[in-house]
Chain A
């Protein structure tokens, strides 16, 4: 093709002329749109799944709440949907969930944070390279294994220290759950700390601060939004954890704030009913949706809280 001179373009060509070389390629355009659509579909899967779950929870819970009033659900102190004298108070399950989560977080948050500070600020490279895979392995152990570890090993151990401790109890399950959550807290916290720019650490050292002072007074606050995210992740894991509690904490709904007692959590109850032989559509069966909705709202609450914390403390370097 003969190249067009400037004169050709200005004089001879129509105004909206586009040379062949620069014209839009229809095929390429279509291909691009198809790829975009496929990517969009992939992204929609997660959104659609979430929406679907929420919709089903709401729909099925609605059936439940037509029979049981919301007031009874929130204030009744007994949860005995399978008994002749049925009570539908979520409080016993909620207390079990909150107490076991609290025990777990009392283990996971301090230990996870300390591990993160050590790995990010103190540990030599070689130690970090060995310790990190081990920690991640801790997160990869199936929770059922943790459950039996709690029941068969930790509970007997605790019974030697605390005489009269029942075989099923929230303390043992919570402690082991805490150990399970440590890697979630420590690895996200550590990433956040390592993302703190070196200039900030140097600033602190230059003021005569020790390593520990730098880690606790400068690096930790600077990484706070990421550390908060790690804590929220830990809380969500604790609230939603099922197998450890189903195995080691017992299945009896029990309104208690004492970790030394056995109690069912929301998740343990759902497993119990979902695996049982209750007929679909019975009020007993519907209870698990109401319980599931409560759990979802609880997790949502912590996620929103985490989001607000992160926004409040986000640092831009």
Chain B
């Protein structure tokens, strides 16, 4: 089910070196109490690539995403089975001996609805550094600016860094949340339908941002929007009812899916 072939559609892609694995889920199952939400999912996440998770509502794509930063640990009754290996550490993120806080320091997340904290723009971005104990003003200033530039928000907010973040528009708030996630230099950035609450223009700016971000880090994105998956991702995984139906290079999945079910979903005959 897992395609390991290098991209072969475009010449540019073919010229790229073979992708390196940044993480990999191995026989990952997940249970909300008695309900099995993920069934035996094995799939690689390639370094400095965008991997999109698509599938109808309730297929487990968000559940899968949230395993990577152990968000499920926050609620009682949740259980993981299987492994998520992080490279180059070669460590299973789901190992109980692994501290979820350490995991979240390296794997950041951007949520469906912008969720800025009730703080100033500056303090929102500085939050991750502050919880790590960073106090030096010069370092904070530098990192905040870098992160805001990285999220293409600096020019819009540089004169009002100390205003409340709630005063920003929805699209700006979401970019602020991306800046917040970037400020701590994460290795993997998880996006859970980051544009579903945004208008088309704000969506376009976030998508542009994703293309820029993958130069530096690995991106895993859940999206409901098939066009978005096609536009932004290098690899796509189609999930259905907690199972991984097909994983492969995005162009292949969208042009010539091997699985009939994937094809039906992508062409809109289903879902």
Contact = CB atoms under 8 A, between A and B. Distances in A.
Chains A and B bind each other: yes
B177 interface: yes
A206 B119 contact: no
A124 B113 CA distance: 27
Contacts of A210: 101, 131
Contact of B117 (A200, A205, A208, A224): A200
B115 A208 contact: no
Given A202-B74, A203-B177, A208 B128 contact: yes
Contact of A205 (B71, B118, B119, B177): B71
Nearest to A205: B74
Given A202-B71, A217-B131, A207 B180 contact: yes
B141 to A, nearest CB: 19
A110 to B, nearest CB: 22
Interface stretch (B18-26, B87-95, B104-112): B104-112
A205 B104 contact: yes
Interface in B158-204: 166, 177, 180-181, 184
A171 to B, nearest CB: 37
Given A206-B109, A208-B128, A217-B127, A315 B115 contact: no
A199 interface: yes
B132 interface: yes
Given A202-B71, A202-B74, A315-B166, A207 B108 contact: yes
A201 B118 CA distance: 11
A159 interface: no
Contacts of A209: 101, 127, 131
B117 A203 contact: yes
A199 B181 contact: no
Contacts of A207: 104, 108, 127-128, 131, 180-181, 184
Contacts of B71: 202, 205-206
A208 B102 CA distance: 7
A218 B127 CA distance: 10
B115 A199 contact: yes
Given A203-B111, A203-B177, A208-B184, A315 B131 contact: no
A201, A207, A218, A316 pick with most chain B CB within 10 angstroms: A207
Nearest to A316: B166
B117 A222 contact: yes
Contacts of B116: 203
A207 B108 CA distance: 6
A209 B71 CA distance: 12
A217 B130 CA distance: 10
B185 to A, nearest CB: 12
Interface in A197-252: 197, 199-210, 213, 217-218, 221-222, 224
Contact of A221 (B105, B118, B128, B131): B118
Contacts of A218: 117-118
Contacts of A316: 166
A124 B77 CA distance: 13
Interface string B110-150: 01010111110000000110111000000000000000000
A52 B116 CA distance: 47
B233 interface: no
Contacts of B117: 200, 203-204, 217-218, 221-222
B69 interface: yes
Contact of A200 (B69, B76, B115): B115
B113 A206 contact: no
Nearest to A214: B131
Contacts of A124: 76
B74 A208 contact: no
A221 B119 contact: yes
A29 to B, nearest CB: 44
A202 B114 CA distance: 12
Contacts of A213: 131
Contacts of A202: 71, 74, 111, 115
A209 B117 CA distance: 13
Interface in B44-95: 69, 71, 74, 76
Interface string A69-91: 00000000000000000000000
B74 A203 contact: no
B157 to A, nearest CB: 18
A309 to B, nearest CB: 14
A199 B105 CA distance: 18
Interface of A: 124, 197, 199-210, 213, 217-218, 221-222, 224, 315-316
15 contacts: A124-B76, A199-B115, A202-B71, A202-B115, A203-B177, A205-B71, A206-B69, A207-B131, A208-B104, A209-B101, A210-B101, A213-B131, A217-B117, A315-B118, A315-B166
Nearest 8 Cβ contacts at the A-B interface: A208-B105, A206-B109, A203-B115, A208-B104, A207-B128, A209-B131, A199-B115, A222-B118
Given A203-B116, A218-B118, 14 more contacts: A124-B76, A199-B111, A202-B111, A205-B104, A206-B108, A206-B111, A208-B104, A208-B105, A208-B132, A209-B131, A210-B131, A217-B130, A218-B117, A222-B117
